[in-house]
Chains A and B, each alone.
Chain A
């Protein structure tokens, strides 16, 4: 059974803290994605990676960075957390192919106070 796991389901951090969100997939997928989900705004792509050590900016990369040192792991970093980064963060992975099915993790609900 395919699996994408995220390190935390719920996280509370203070403004200015450095925050790491980890995502691991066990499907040997090349592509990995980080989204944030906010009510009324749907999913917005933050960063994605299509190979180890490769990264590409999505639609809203400001205030975030990513790391992909190993194929199975894709980390999202909030360099200095701010209250407007309070959100649900979803990680996904996929393999290159005709049908671009993305497999999602359960999400991390981050609250920045």
Chain B
């Protein structure tokens, strides 16, 4: 079973900021939090990874509160091409990488 819980779907409009929250109440001390993006007919693609506080790269930001029981993926100014399924995973050193159902994000014009 996946160790995370996410909303099944979200809708947004072009240019908006999108925040997708993931719950991982039983996260272990050594677990990292990793987010992936998947387009139809493609394998998942790594977006961002973090352990605590905030991580930012050229694509997204990841916010992790002090208790680490949840995390939020933030996508700034989304475009139609950001329409995809987003997965949140937790694991230690890339072990036990189990995907849940993910969040299907639809960006509308």
Task: Indicate whether A and B interact.
Answer: no
